Structure 1
Amino acid sequence: MATLSTDTLLALLQPYLPAPLTAEAAGRLSTYLDLLVKWNARTNLTAIRTPEEMVRRHFGESLFAGSIVPRGTTTLLDLGSGGGFPGIPVQILRPEIAVTLAESQGKKAAFLREAVRTLGLKTTVWANRAEKLPEQFDVVAMRAVDKMEEMISVAEELVRPGGTLMLLTTTGQVEALGHLTASATPLPGSQDGIVALFHVEQS
Structure 2
Amino acid sequence: MSTTAIDFSVDSTLSKHSSREALDRYYVELMKENASVNLVSRETSRDDFNRLCAESLLPLETLPERIGNYLDIGAGGGIPAVPLMQSGRISGKCVLVERTRKKAASLQRIVNAIQLPGETVNRTFEELSLRDRFDLITLRYVKLDRTLLGKIIPLLSANGRFVYYSNTEIRSEKLNSELYGFADPVEGILKHFTVFRTK
Q: TM-score range by the shorter chain?
A: 0.7 to 0.9
Question: Which of 69, 76, 81 lines up with 2:70 in the alignment?
Answer: 76
Question: Which of 167, 170, 174 lines up with 1:177 in the alignment?
Answer: 170
| AA of the residue aligned to 2:101 | G
Quote how far apart the aligned CAs of 1:62 are.
0.9
* CA RMSD in angstroms, aligned pairs only: 2.4
Q: Which residue number in structure 2 is paired with residue 50 of structure 1?
A: 44
The answer on 1:60 being equivalent to 2:58 is no
Cα distance in structure 1, aligned partners of 2:37 and 2:165:
23
Structure 1 residues 107 and 191, CA gap change in structure 2 (3 angstroms): same
Question: Conserved in 2, the CA contact under 8 Å of 1:144 and 1:169?
Answer: no
| AA of the residue aligned to 1:117 | N
Residue aligned with 1:63, SS = helix
Quote how far apart the aligned CAs of 1:116 are.
1.0
Normalising by structure 2, report the TM-score.
Answer: 0.78
Cα distance in structure 2, aligned partners of 1:62 and 1:116:
16
Residue aligned with 1:148, SS = coil
Quote how far apart the aligned CAs of 1:95 are.
4.9
Quote how far apart the aligned CAs of 1:67 are.
4.1
Structure 1 residues without counterparts, runs of 5 or longer: 1-11
What percentage of residue pairs aligned between the two structures are identical?
A: 23
The answer on 1:111 being equivalent to 2:124 is no
Structure 2 residues without counterparts, runs of 5 or longer: 1-8
Quote how far apart the aligned CAs of 1:121 are.
1.0
Q: 1:22-33, aligned counterparts within 5 Å?
A: 25-33=19-27
Cα distance in structure 2, aligned partners of 1:61 and 1:34:
19
Quote how far apart the aligned CAs of 1:86 are.
1.1
Cα distance in structure 1, aligned partners of 2:118 and 2:159:
23
Residue aligned with 1:164, SS = strand
Question: Conserved in 2, the CA contact under 8 Å of 1:59 and 1:89?
Answer: yes
- Larger helix proportion of the pair: 1
Question: Conserved in 2, the CA contact under 8 Å of 1:183 and 1:196?
Answer: yes
Question: Which of 157, 175, 195 lines up with 1:197 in the alignment?
Answer: 195
Residue aligned with 2:195, SS = strand
Q: Which residue number in structure 1 is paired with residue 140 of structure 2?
A: 143
Relative contact order, CA 8 A, sep 6+: which one is greater? 2
